Structure 1
Amino acid sequence: MNIDIKPLSLSNIKIKDIQKFLFNHIKEEFGYGYVPSFHNDIVNLKDTYLTDDRNNFYVATNDNGKIIGCIGVRGYDKHFEEFEGVYFKDTTASIWRLMIDSKYRRKGIGSRLVKYVEKFSESKNYQNIYLHTQRNLPGALQFWQAQNYSIIYDSNNEYTTVHMIKNII
């Protein structure tokens, strides 16, 4: 099985295909569809990930060119009260939308996508990488800890959100 990972560009993969992959995956994993406050970056994929050279989006495809995974990275742009004055867009990258087709999980694809993001983030002089995940996603927290991300805040909220960080310099 040959897996190809490439940064998204306007010429290599149709944005609509990625959006469809993402929304199908969200429906499968979380049981709901489009939520404007959660999914603005998906609807505006081009503007969010392709117009700023410090942002990027990677897509994994199989031998047939089918999208089987993806990950986005952008300067930290969330406004969580817990992190006011701690993380900044210029120094902290943030990971978004790491999703792997369920038939391709546990084959190292997620880890490879994370390595692409980490290399990219280093090349853009970010100092650390932030992400958040949910405790109720099977294997998610363990996956990120295996990638050497550390829990910085467990919100214990209705979404079971866990915030994580990795220093890269």
Structure 2
Amino acid sequence: MQPAGPDDVAPARALMLRVLEEDLGYGFRPEWHADVADPATAYLRTPGQVLLLARDDDGVLMGTTAVRTGGPRSPQVLVDRYAGRPVAQLVRVWVLAEHRRRGVARALVTAAARWAVTEGGYGTLCLHTDTAVPGAEAFWRSLPVVEVLDERVPGEQLQTVHFELDTAALLGAPRP
């Protein structure tokens, strides 16, 4: 796992766009994906944020994840929950289908959690997932997470559940 550099922006963006289309099924949506539109500004030029990449031994890009400062902008209950706290969001944990089931996503999450705690100085790392994506909910529940809010509504396209990642448990750090 390595932080993205300027030469990584185009391939990382291409991977993200592919996942949005092939796996999530709704493609790029500017209102949701400003960081995908301009990863260099979002992650290379914004303090407290990082884009991490997973590559195989041949240098082939397999997946991404990012840490973004601040909590979610909605719903209000989460805005209130994270107000005034050193919080970041774990986002864009995306691995291409041909590289899945090899521990890539787990390694990305671990690297992002380590960065968030040691480099970012964040005390809380939150995330959301769309449980309609095959394997997404099971993956997150296999990690030390606490469910914070279940926004699933039967019949809706997005089936969102919000979690907090227990970084101390994931990283094997002693608890205070």
TM-score (norm 1): 0.89
Q: Which residue of 2 aligns with 1:122?
A: 117
* Residue in 2 that maps onto 1:19: 13
Q: Which amino acid aligns with 2:167?
A: I
**Does 2:27 match 1:33?**
yes
Contact residue 57 and residue 72 of structure 1 kept, 8 A: yes
Alignment: residue pair count: 163
Q: Tell me which of 123, 134, 145 is aligned to 1:149.
A: 145
Contact 2:88 2:126 in 1 (8 A): yes
Which residue is 1:106 aligned to? 101
Give the gaps of 5 or more residues in structure 1: none
Asked if 1:49 is matched to 2:48, the reply is: no
Equivalent residues of 2:128, 2:160 under 8 A apart: yes
For residue 88 of structure 2, the aligned residue among 87, 93, 105 is 93
Match of 2:174 in 1: none
Specify the code of the residue in structure 1 equivalent to 2:117.
E
CA distance in structure 2 between the partners assigned to 1:89 and 1:146 by the alignment = 29
Secondary structure at the residue paired with 2:23? helix
1:64 aligns with 2:61: no
Q: CA deviation at 1:64?
A: 2.7
Native 8 Å contact 1:76 1:89 kept in 2: no
- Length-normalised TM-score, structure 2: 0.85
1:42, distance to aligned residue in structure 2 (A): 0.5
**Cα RMSD over matched residues?**
1.7
| 8 A Cα contact 2:49 2:67, kept in partner | yes
Change (3 A) 1:63 1:103: same
Deviation per residue, 1:11-40 (Å, 9 max, x gap): 4x2x12111111011111122322111111
